[in-house]
Amino acid sequence: MRLQLQSDMASRTAFLLFFVNLFVSWVSATPLTGGRVLAVIEEQYDSTKYSQFLMDLKGRGYDVKLEPAKKDTLSLFEHGEKVWDHVILFPPKFKGYGPALTPQKLLEFTKLGGNVLILTSPSSIPEQVRELARELDIGLPPKDYITVDHFNYDTVSKSEKHDVILANRPAVSPAVHNYFSGKQDDLIAFRGAGHTLGNGPLLVPLLTAPRTAYTYDSKEDFAYAQDPWAAGTQMQLVSAMQARNNARITLVGSVDMFSNEFFDMKVQKPGSTKPQKTANKEFCRDVAAWTFGEKGIVKVNSIKHYLSNEPNAPVNPNMYRIKNDVTFEIELSEYDIDRWVPFKVPSGDSLQLEFTMLDPYYRVPLLPSSTSSNATTFTTSFKIPDQHGVFAFRVNYKRPYITYIDEKYSVTVRHFAHDEYTRSWDISGAWVWIAGIAVTIIGWIGFCALWLWSAPAAAKVGVKKTQ
Amino acid sequence: MPPKKNVSTPSSTSAAPSAAVATPISTPQTSHNVPSSNPISILEGIFKNYSQSTPQRTKLIDAFLGFLVITGVLQFVYCVVAGNYPFNAFLAGFSATVGQFVLTASLRIQSNPANKSEFASVSPERAFADFVFCSIILHLFCTNFIN
**HEC assignment per residue over A57-110:** HHHCCCEEEEECCCCCCCCCEECCEECCCEEEECCCCCCCCCHHHCHHHHHHHH
CB contact under 8 A, A436 and B60: no
Residue-averaged pLDDT of chain A: 87
CA angle A206, A212, A215 (to 5 degrees): 75
Query: Band of the pLDDT at A386, cuts 50, 70, 90?
Result: very high
- Say what the pLDDT of residue B15 is: 40
In the predicted model, is pLDDT for residue B140 greater than 90? yes
Exposure of A420 by Cβ count < 10 A (0-12 exposed, 13-18 middle, 19+ buried)?
A: exposed
Q: Where are the beta strands (DSSP E) in A169-208?
A: 187-190, 195-197, 203-208
Quote the CA–CA distance of B44 and B50 in Å, as a whole number. 10
Name the region of A345 (left: φ>0; alpha: ψ -120 to 50; beta: rest). beta
CB nearest B7 (choices: A432, A443, A465)? A465
Which chain A residues in 422-441 lie under 8 Å from chain B, judged by CB atoms? 423-424, 427, 429-430, 432-437, 439-441
In the predicted model, is pLDDT for residue A419 greater than 70? yes
- Say what the pLDDT of residue B11 is: 40
CB nearest A451 (choices: B67, B78, B128)? B128
The share of chain A scoring above pLDDT 90, in percent, equals 58
Beta strand A276-277 with A266-267: parallel, antiparallel or unpaired?
Answer: antiparallel
Higher per-residue confidence, A457 vs A167: A167
- Say what the pLDDT of residue A224 is: 62
The share of chain B scoring above pLDDT 70, in percent, equals 76
Long-range pairs for B48-51 at CB < 8 Å and ≥24 separation? Answer: B49/B23
Beta strand A325-336 with A295-307: parallel, antiparallel or unpaired?
Answer: antiparallel
Chain B residues with CB under 8 Å of A461 CB are 8, 11
Beta bridge mates, A148: A214
Pick from A29-38, A262-271, A284-293: least confident: A29-38
CB nearest B96 (choices: A429, A437, A465)? A437
- For the ranges A13-22, A96-105, A150-159, the one whose mean pLDDT is highest: A96-105
Chain B residues with CB under 8 Å of A450 CB are 60
- Say what the pLDDT of residue A197 is: 94
- Say what the pLDDT of residue A342 is: 95
pLDDT in tens, A312-324: 999 999 999 999 9
Beta bridge mates, A389: A413
In the predicted model, is pLDDT for residue B93 greater than 80? yes
Query: Band of the pLDDT at A19, cuts 50, 70, 90?
Result: low
In the predicted model, is pLDDT for residue B9 greater than 70? no
Domains of chain A: 36-292 (3.40.50), 297-414 (2.70.50.60)
CA angle A365, A371, A372 (to 5 degrees): 150
Quote the CA–CA distance of A249 and A368 in Å, as a whole number. 32
Chain B residues with CB under 8 Å of A437 CB are 92-93, 96, 139, 142-143, 146
In the predicted model, is pLDDT for residue A12 greater than 70? no
Higher per-residue confidence, A368 vs A219: A368
* Chain centroid, CA B90 distance in Å: 26
Residue (of A333, A334, A338, A332) closest to A366 by Cα position: A332
CB contact under 8 A, A429 and B85: yes
pTM above 0.80, yes or no: no
In the predicted model, is pLDDT for residue B31 greater than 80? no
End-to-end CA distance of chain A: 110
Radius of gyration of chain B (CA): 21
Contact A149, A240 (CB under 8 A): no
CB contact under 8 A, B93 and A437: yes
Pick from A178-187, A366-375, B64-73, B134-143: least confident: A178-187
This complex has an ipTM of 0.76
Mean pLDDT of A148-160: 84
Quote the CA–CA distance of A305 and A393 in Å, as a whole number. 9
Chain A residues with CB under 8 Å of B88 CB are 424
Residue (of A323, A327, A326) closest to A388 by Cα position: A323
Contact A113, A297 (CB under 8 A): no
Mean pLDDT of A279-307: 93
Distances (CA, A) of A195 to A214, A230, A235, A430, B99: 10, 8, 6, 72, 83
pLDDT in tens, A54-78: 999 999 889 999 988 888 888 899 8
In the predicted model, is pLDDT for residue A227 greater than 80? no
Contact A377, A371 (CB under 8 A): yes
pLDDT in tens, A97-150: 888 899 999 999 999 999 999 999 988 888 999 999 999 999 999 988 889 898
Mean pLDDT of A301-320: 93
In the predicted model, is pLDDT for residue B74 greater than 90? yes
Quote the CA–CA distance of A224 and A239 in Å, as a whole number. 27
CB contact under 8 A, A458 and B135: no
- Say what the pLDDT of residue A10 is: 57
- Say what the pLDDT of residue A152 is: 87
The share of chain B scoring above pLDDT 90, in percent, equals 50
Helix, strand, or coil here: A466? helix
Instruction: Give kind and range of the element (H or E) at residue A133.
Output: helix A127-136
- Say what the pLDDT of residue A8 is: 59
Quote the CA–CA distance of A120 and A139 in Å, as a whole number. 13
In the predicted model, is pLDDT for residue B98 greater than 90? yes
- Say what the pLDDT of residue A219 is: 81
Query: Band of the pLDDT at A18, cuts 50, 70, 90?
Result: low
Query: Band of the pLDDT at B107, cuts 50, 70, 90?
Result: very high
* Cα within 13 Å of Cα(A446), Cβ side: 12
- Say what the pLDDT of residue A184 is: 79
- Say what the pLDDT of residue B85 is: 86
- Say what the pLDDT of residue A259 is: 92
| 3-class secondary structure per residue, chain B | CHHHHHHHHHHHHHHHHHHHHHHHHHHHHHHHCCCCCCHHHHHHHHHHHHHHHCCHHHHHHHHHHHHHHHHHHHHHHHHHHHCCCCHHHHHHHHHHHHHHHHHHHHHHHHHCHHHCCCCCCCCHHHHHHHHHHHHHHHHHHHHHHHC
Pick from A16-25, A169-178, B132-141: least confident: A16-25
Phi, psi of A69 (to 5 degrees): -65, -30
- Say what the pLDDT of residue A344 is: 92
Distances (CA, A) of A142 to A130, A146, A190, A303: 9, 9, 18, 50
Beta bridge mates, A230: A215
Pick from A60-64, A352-356, B24-28: least confident: B24-28
Chain B residues with CB under 8 Å of A453 CB are none
CB contact under 8 A, A447 and B11: no
